């Protein structure tokens, strides 16, 4: 017998009023307990819509969504209590302190505040020094840390993070991921993450789903997604303009070109040489998740 999935999406459809295209079209997949799952897709693919339905903030037109077997509509209170949601937007009551915000959140779930756990959260998220500061006095990065603590304060077995690292500094990203990875590993907490940072998803997520225009276009183990790509990638830096017709991914000075075999590599290098393109720091590597993403989702940025 298979365990009840931590999260189940079953034929979820959603079209916003007045929209010409559906935001979600027949999305179905399960996330088993204990998994670290990454949901990827370009802007407007439907990631936030799916998470809003899961969190009970929005309703699907059709389909069913469950958290550990509890329907998010019919059994809303139970489903919501099992979820810790870190939303994309920073919304707070500015008159509470950090500690009060966390205590208040426990009350929302009808639970007694667990002071030891609150201290642990404050400590692990680097918030101890700000624990008694009013929310309005905090920087954006600190507010984001509180959002994470707030999502975890009732010890949910399933955590949902909607682009938690958008625009945050390296230190917070590292602190956050170390803590979430520990909860996943040590307590078996299920994690559903959306992010535009594909290196993050590649490093953290055991399995990945990709949405495109509201449809699930890929669903596999991260390692399998990477292994299925047969090509290598030629990476180098240059300031010069590339020869016309050479298909490349360019990020600032960094150029990446697909190469299927050694003959391909030779051919690309010969073209660069004959066009007198000076190159630095040349390396040949494996395709990464960004290559896979671009191949599946088709040219739209993550
Ligand atoms: N409240 C709304 N009313 C109308 N249309 C909406 C609403 N929210 C989202 N949409 C539309 O639904 C589609 C999916 O949007 P959604 O925010 O779910 O995508 P996303 O994958 O989270 O994008 P991003 O990466 O930019 O956050 C988009 O076409 C968007 O314009």
Q: Are 29 and 11 in contact (CB under 8 A)?
A: no
- List pLDDT tens digits, range 1-22: 568 999 999 999 999 999 999 9
Question: Do 142 and 127 meet the contact criterion of CB atoms below 8 Å apart?
Answer: yes
Minimum CA distance residue for ligand 1 atom 24: 43
In a domain, 268, yes or no: yes
Same domain, 194 and 57: yes
Q: Which residue ranges have their beta carbon within 6 Å of ligand 1?
A: 16, 19, 23, 41, 43-49
Same domain flag for 133 and 121: yes
**DSSP category for residue 137:** G
Highest mean pLDDT: which of 5-14, 118-127, 157-166?
Answer: 5-14
To test ligand 1's pocket by mutation, which of 19, 27, 88, 162 has the most ligand atoms within 8 angstroms of CB? 19
Closest C-alpha residue for ligand 1 atom 29? 44
From the number of C-beta atoms within 10 Å of its C-beta (0-12, 13-18, 19+), residue 270 rates as exposed
Average pLDDT on 254-271 reads 88
Q: Are residues 189 and 260 in the same domain?
A: no
Q: Tell me, yes or no, whether 69 and 54 share the same domain.
A: yes
Residue that terminates a domain, selected from 184, 208, 226? 226
Q: How confident is the model at residue 302 (pLDDT cuts 50, 70, 90)?
A: low
User: Among residues of the chain, what percentage have pLDDT more than 90?
Assistant: 61
Summary mean pLDDT of the chain? 90
pLDDT at site 299: 60
The DSSP secondary-structure symbol of 285 reads: E
Radius of gyration of the chain (CA): 22
Atom of ligand 1 nearest to the CA of 51: 18
Does 58 score more than 70 pLDDT? yes
In which domain, by residue range, is 120 found? 7-226
Closest CA to 46 of 84, 14, 89, 83: 14
Ligand 1 pocket test: which of 15, 47, 215 has the largest number of ligand atoms within 8 Å of its C-beta?
47
CA–CA gap between residue 202 and residue 261 (Å, rounded):
24
Cβ-count burial 205-241 (b if 16+ within 10 Å, e if not): bebbbbbbbbebebbeebeebbeebeebbbbbebeee
Is the residue at 302 inside a domain? no
Q: H-type helices in the chain, by residue range? A: 47-54, 76-81, 98-108, 115-124, 140-152, 170-187, 198-204, 222-227, 262-274, 289-293
Q: Is residue 185 part of a domain?
A: yes
Helices (H), 160-301: 170-187, 198-204, 222-227, 262-274, 289-293
Q: Note whether 60 and 45 are same-domain residues.
A: yes
Residue carrying structure tokens 């059994």: 75
Strand order in the sheet with 232-237: 249-251, 254-259, 232-237, 280-286
Distance 299 CA to ligand 1 centre (A): 19
As a whole number of angstroms, the distance between CA 244 and CA 28 comes to: 42
pLDDT of residue 121: 94
Instruction: Tell me the best of 13, 48, 196, 214 to mutate to test the pocket of ligand 1, counting ligand atoms within 8 Å of each CB and taking the most.
Output: 48
How many residues comprise the chain? 302
Does residue 257 share a domain with residue 213?
A: no
298: left (phi over 0), alpha (psi -120 to 50) or beta: left
Q: Does the residue 297 lie in any domain?
A: no
Q: Does 251 share its domain with 126? A: no
């Amino acid at each position: 017998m298979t365990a009840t999935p931590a999260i189940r999406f079953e034929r979820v459809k959603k079209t916003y009023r007045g929209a010409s295209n559906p935001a979600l079209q027949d999305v179905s997949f399960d996330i088993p307990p204990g998994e670290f799952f990454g949901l990827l897709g370009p802007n407007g693919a439907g990631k936030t819509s799916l998470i809003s339905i899961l969190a009970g903030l929005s309703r699907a037109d059709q389909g069913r969504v469950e958290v550990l077997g509890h329907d998010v509509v019919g059994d809303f209170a139970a489903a919501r209590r099992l979820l810790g949601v870190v939303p994309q937007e920073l919304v707070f009551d500015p008159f509470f302190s950090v500690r009060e915000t966390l205590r208040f959140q426990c009350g929302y779930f009808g639970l007694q505040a667990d002071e030891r756990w609150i201290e642990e959260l404050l400590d692990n998220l680097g918030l101890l020094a700000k624990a008694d500061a009013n929310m309005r006095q905090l920087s954006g990065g600190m507010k984001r840390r509180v959002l994470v603590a707030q999502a975890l304060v009732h010890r949910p077995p399933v955590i949902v993070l909607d682009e938690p690292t958008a625009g945050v500094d390296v230190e917070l990203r590292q602190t956050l991921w170390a803590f979430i990875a520990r909860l996943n590993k040590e307590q078996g907490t299920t994690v559903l993450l959306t992010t535009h940072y594909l290196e993050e998803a590649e490093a953290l997520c055991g399995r990945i789903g990709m949405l495109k225009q509201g449809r699930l276009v890929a669903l596999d183990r991260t390692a399998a997604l990477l292994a299925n790509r047969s090509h290598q990638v030629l990476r180098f830096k240059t300031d010069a303009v590339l020869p016309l017709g050479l298909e490349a991914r360019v990020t600032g000075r960094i150029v990446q070109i697909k190469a299927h075999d050694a003959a391909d590599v030779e051919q690309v290098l010969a073209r660069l040489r004959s066009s007198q393109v000076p190159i630095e720091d040349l390396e040949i590597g494996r395709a990464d998740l960004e290559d896979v993403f671009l191949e599946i989702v088709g040219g739209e940025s993550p």
